[in-house]
Amino acid sequence: MCGICGQYNYRDAEKVERGALQRMASTMRHRGPDDEGFYLDGPLGLGFRRLSIIDLEGGHQPMSDAEGTTWVVFNGEIYNFPELKERLEARGHIFRTRSDTEVIVHGYKEWGDDVFNHLNGMFGVAIWDRRRQRLLVARDPFGIKPVYYRIHGDRLFFGSEIRAVNQGVGAPPSIDPVALNLFLRHRFTPSPYTLYQGVHKLAPGSLLVAENGECTTRLWYRFTPEPFSHPPSPEEATEELLALYTRSVKRHLLSDVPVGLLLSGGIDSALLLALMNLHGKSWRTYTVGYGSSFSDDELVDAAQTAGILFSQHTPVLLDHSTFEAALPKIIASLEEPVATSSIVPMYFVCARARQDVKVVLCGQGPDELFGGYRRHLGVRYGDYWSRIPTALRRPLREMVFRVPRNEGLKRAVRSLDTVSRLERYQNVLSLLPGTTVDALFRTDLLPADAGNGMLRAWQDFAPLMRGTDELGGLQFLEMRSTLPDELLMYSDKLSMAHSLEARVPYLDREIVEYAERLTADYKVRSGSRKWLHRRVCRRFLPSAVVQRKKRGFASNVVDQWFKQIQTSQMNDLFADDNSHLYAFLRPERVQQLLRDHQSGAEDNHKILFSLVVAEHWLRANSGSCASLDTPAAPALIHPHG
């Protein structure tokens, strides 16, 4: 895992200065404290910071072929690189290292732009074709690794982090009110938007090409799922998925440094540990918790799982005062705001894990792939609502919207009544109606179509999901939108803040493509979520583990604490005429949201949470392109056991 950056003066021959490239890379030292490297070729410059994981001695970047015609900087891991190396050697390519990076170098020489379709892994990568004076920048299919870019005049700047891009330009851009609107609707900013005007996230599975004086982007990953012509039986599907899981975990354990696991009390990470045990080690596992006084705490469940599966387990105990003190600083460390309180426990569990290991596996993915969220139940069985006669459905809808503090049900009904498929999915993933969010903004600040940003972000994906059923369509977009732009984004930023590589075996390309071909009945059946995934879990885990309530780093405890913090902070934040948010929002509308919530008239805790996060983020990041400055973990973390 590393940090990459670069500059290409794609319309002139002005040389890139080494010092400018070094300053860009230095903002990402936390991503790669082990090594740095630079390559300059007239108007092109590539920079690199390395976290050494594979081929510790031979993996220096930028890396080239023997002739120096193809140069690569690469952040991530290519898990099928041993197989690709064999294929390329059989075709006459000569390798000089054991690094997976070199597979990309020779793969490009052999397959050209199609090299990305041969890769199974997570990556942000830049390839410089010196003969053609052509730069390619690509992001992996499911956006596990971020890539940002900005075109400033005739210059292209790119990097693994926004701070590197802004450092290259020399001054940060202004805040984009359209992106802020999207953040408040969805609690994250969808690709290709960021909160900075002119700074873009490369969408998952996308490629940026700079050549002949032009910069263009397109999807390189165009997998179009079609249902199996002969659907597998439940027994066959269970065996097939288990085989895919087993192969993926083996691939994801490839490392020349110690590997651990972030272990929750649930089934997803427990299954990973069971599959890791097939490789004969006593693995280190880490869980964050809040103490025995909380009935919903995960420490006991995770410790029980670790005992059953024989891991060397370390709980991390987080208290309320630490949580409250760290929250603004952790928000500041995120280059893009994400309105989930899970960022705090994620930060601290990564800090503790890094004391022992350099790589951790994480259990993200099955919820999106197999229908693990409550919204998936609504989508799966939404056709029952449409079967109700219109004359009866209309008064039911009005009755639902008259019930106070019932935002989840209101969102479901609003979504089910939407005819357009993409708009229906957009409503499912929106915290509030677009008109409510738009009304928060100052007059004439937003263009008329500001709220359609998610639809614009999905336009390239829409043709690829034509063969999916209703649930599968939503999940297809979640895999390319909510997962990479929310969960994977903050996982990347908070793990790399501690120079820790986080891997996600469930997002192996073979697994995702198999799951996306399955119909809804394999995912949500008879009201049971993650139906097929649970069948696999039962092969390895006792029923007491499989039947546990879904928690996820004791999120209920975190939410309780956040509500306490929110209550103490909101009045101060929102009553302050100098709050940064009021450069974009109307104070009276924000304060009305708060009053309605405190009176019990509405449940506005999600949008208020987003507003608090946005205010902290704006205070910390407006006008900033400096290096990462996060809370010092050893002083705040409390190892236990």
**Spatial distance between the Cα atoms of 451 and 201, rounded to a whole number of angstroms:** 18
Q: What is the pLDDT of residue 576?
A: 81
**Spatial distance between the Cα atoms of 244 and 221, rounded to a whole number of angstroms:** 20
Task: Give the pLDDT mean for 58-66.
Answer: 92
Which pLDDT band, with edges at 50, 70 and 90, does 143 fall under?
A: very high
Contacts of 495 (CB under 8 A, 6+ apart): 346, 350, 360, 501, 502
What would the pLDDT profile of 515-565 be if each residue is shown by its tens digit?
999 999 999 999 999 999 999 999 999 988 998 876 655 455 555 665 666
- Specify which residues 35 forms β-bridges with: 50
Chain Cα centroid distance, residue 422: 21
Q: Which of 135-139, 378-382, 429-433, 559-563 is least confident?
A: 559-563
**Spatial distance between the Cα atoms of 545 and 573, rounded to a whole number of angstroms:** 42
**Spatial distance between the Cα atoms of 173 and 150, rounded to a whole number of angstroms:** 10
**Residue 92 DSSP symbol:** T
Among all chains, which residue has been given the structure tokens 């089910």? 416
CA angle 560/566/567 to nearest 5° reads 95
Q: What is the pLDDT of residue 628?
A: 54
Q: Identify whether 177 is preceded by a cis peptide bond (ω within 30 of 0).
A: no
What would the pLDDT profile of 95-126 be if each residue is shown by its tens digit?
999 999 999 999 999 999 999 999 999 999 99
Q: What is the pLDDT of residue 296?
A: 55
Q: What is the pLDDT of residue 26?
A: 97
What would the pLDDT profile of 79-90 be if each residue is shown by its tens digit?
999 999 999 999
Is 3.40.50.300 the CATH classification of the domain at 2-171? no
321-327: long-range contacts, CB 8 A cutoff, minimum separation 24:
322/348, 322/636, 322/637, 322/638, 323/558, 323/561, 323/565, 324/561, 324/564, 324/565, 325/631, 325/636, 326/631, 326/636, 327/562, 327/565, 327/616
Percent of the chain with pLDDT over 90: 69
Q: Does residue 15 have a pLDDT over 60? A: yes
Q: Which of 159-173, 581-595, 613-627 is least confident?
A: 613-627
Burial of 572 (0-12, 13-18, 19+ CB in 10 A): exposed
Q: Does residue 196 have a pLDDT over 60? A: yes
Q: Which of 106-110, 137-141, 574-578 is least confident?
A: 574-578
Phi-psi label, residue 328: left if phi above 0, alpha if psi -120 to 50, beta otherwise:
alpha
**Spatial distance between the Cα atoms of 169 and 155, rounded to a whole number of angstroms:** 9
**Spatial distance between the Cα atoms of 367 and 354, rounded to a whole number of angstroms:** 26
What integer best gives the mean pLDDT of the chain? 89
**Spatial distance between the Cα atoms of 85 and 4, rounded to a whole number of angstroms:** 23
Tell me which residue of 365, 333, 336 sits closest to 348, measured CA to CA.
333
Q: What is the pLDDT of residue 419?
A: 77
Residue predicted with more confidence, 303 or 449 = 303
The one-letter amino acid code at 295 reads S
> Torsion over CA of 314, 318, 319 and 325, rounded to 10 degrees?
150
**Spatial distance between the Cα atoms of 265 and 548, rounded to a whole number of angstroms:** 8
Compute how many other C-beta atoms are within 10 angstroms of the C-beta atom of residue 134.
Answer: 17
**Spatial distance between the Cα atoms of 215 and 211, rounded to a whole number of angstroms:** 7
Q: Which of 328-342, 429-443, 548-562 is least confident?
A: 548-562
Q: Does residue 638 have a pLDDT over 50? A: no
**Spatial distance between the Cα atoms of 576 and 544, rounded to a whole number of angstroms:** 50
The kind and range of the H/E element at 206 are strand 206-211
Q: Does residue 503 have a pLDDT over 90? A: yes
Q: Which of 285-299, 364-378, 420-434 is least confident?
A: 285-299
| Reported pTM | 0.93
Q: Does residue 636 have a pLDDT over 50? A: no
Q: For residue 430, give the 3-state DSSP assignment.
A: coil
Q: What is the pLDDT of residue 640?
A: 33
Q: What is the 3-state secondary structure (H, E, C) of 162-196?
A: HHHHHHHHCCCCCECHHHHHHHHHHCCCCCCCCCE
Task: Give the pLDDT mean for 57-80.
Answer: 94
Residue 629 — φ and ψ, nearest 5°? Answer: -135, 95
What would the pLDDT profile of 261-302 be if each residue is shown by its tens digit?
999 999 999 999 999 999 987 899 999 987 655 555 688 899
Tokens of 144: 């596990």
Helices H, strands E: what count in the chain?
28, 18
What would the pLDDT profile of 473-490 be if each residue is shown by its tens digit?
999 999 999 999 999 999
